[in-house]
A and B are shown apart, each in its own frame.
Chain A
């Protein structure tokens, strides 16, 4: 069974640039969610995708957008990067969209914005 994989693991961008982060869900999982974890903080929910549709969104501006593909992999796109976007971005997958299911996390993509 393949777990959640994310790429790239580390990247550095400058203010105003755009970034795309990628996630492959665990085998058999059709729901993917993205979380932002700032240094010293807990993960904050960005959004969730279920069967290629966004079905939940946290308190993040529209410049944070995403996609889910037919194979349930997902992308997180962030436009017009700001210094405060520096964080660990975690992708999590699960089966179905009910809230009793645990989240399975990848190891994250660490973004540094200079």
Chain B
């Protein structure tokens, strides 16, 4: 079975500082990994995804993530935080044997301090 663990339910950074949101996954087969962002009272919007190929993935709004198989990690980073980045972030995993199911983490709430 697949699962995702997001370390840190709340993360605070200063505006302009590095953003690092952690995600570790468990999968018995090659995973497909995703990061989604959720603003208050809205649905989820895809930031980036890893399926195959290059392990460093670039997404929207300056975010990127690196797939590290040896560490079973897919951490999300952004060099310089903006106030508009304040939101809830979800890491998700799926795979060929999940029965079409995406498994989401419990989320990390990002606060950006001016």
Complex alpha-carbon distance, A31 and B51, angstroms: 19
Residue B84 at the chain A interface, CB threshold 8 Å: no
- CB A66 to nearest CB in B, in angstroms, measures 13
Residue contact B107 to A58, C-beta cutoff 8 Å: no
Known contacts A42-B106, A105-B44; is-contact A56 B101 (Cβ 8 Å): yes
Cα distance A33–B92 in the bound complex, in angstroms:
15
Given known pairs A42-B90, A42-B105, A100-B51, the reply for A105 and B45 (CB within 8 Å) is yes
| Residues of B within 8 A of A (CB-CB), count | 27
User: Chain A nearest CB: distance from B66 CB in Å?
Assistant: 18
B47 to chain A, nearest CB (A): 10
Given A4-B43, A105-B45, verify A42-B101 contact (CB < 8 Å).
no
Assess whether B70 is interfacial by the CB under 8 Å rule.
no
Residues of A within 8 A of B90 (CB): 42-43
Q: Interface code A80-92, partner B: CB below 8 Å = 1, 0 otherwise?
A: 0000000000101
Docked CA distance A43–B105 (Å): 8
Name the interface size band of chain A: 20 to 34
> Would you call B67 an interface residue if the criterion is a C-beta within 8 Å of the partner chain's C-beta atoms?
no
* Residue in A56, A57, A106 whose CB lies within 8 Å of B43: A106
Q: Which residues of B contact A (CB under 8 A)?
A: 4, 32, 34, 36, 41-46, 49, 51, 90, 92, 94-96, 98-107
